[in-house]
Amino acid sequence: MNMHSNTAFLKEMGITEWTSRDTKADMTSEAPEIAKAITAPPASAIAIDRSPAALWWFFGNPPQGDTELLFQGIVRALGLSPQEWLWKNPSDAVEVEALMQTGIPMVALAFGGSVAQKLSGERDALPQLRETVLAFMEEGAQELPLIATFELNHLVSRPKDKALFWQDVLLAKSVLQNT
């Protein structure tokens, strides 16, 4: 395809000017104009410290290797910023009362049946705990909704269960939207 036909296609798409990356164009004459066009955003736009819209707590064994990559993908798919999620070990104390007073909606996802049992006090196996909004067993944390789902290791070894995992995530999202 030659340069002329590329230009014709681009003009049909509404793009009027095009330069090939293969050729080195002399852009020194355009540099001052580009510098003038770029302006710094106002200081108020930079200094905004917005609080998170919601807070996700993830409970389970710390992800490593493939499970860490999977977890990073989950966080990206949910569109969560670092201020919007926390990873907690099941043995960590749950200090919910102070966070609940901020008014920020929160939800907890328990990775694995044993983690969900420990946090909720339930004795049922994971299949019975899934698709249910559980309550924390710990005093003062009963208001925090808890969703049981598969361990990350399980999802890595059985990719077909990711669809079921996503149902659990959607349940958690709906809980957040209704709070």
Q: What is the model's pTM?
A: 0.69
pLDDT in tens, 151-171: 999 999 999 999 999 999 999
Backbone CA torsion sign across 126, 129, 131, 135: negative
Confidence of residue 69 (pLDDT cuts 50, 70, 90): very high
Instruction: Name the E strands within the chain.
Output: 55-59, 85-88, 106-111, 133-135, 145-149
Cα 130 to Cα 112: distance, rounded to the nearest angstrom: 10
Helix, strand, coil share of the chain (percent; to 5): 45, 15, 45
What tens digit of pLDDT does each residue of 116-132 get?
999 999 999 999 999 99
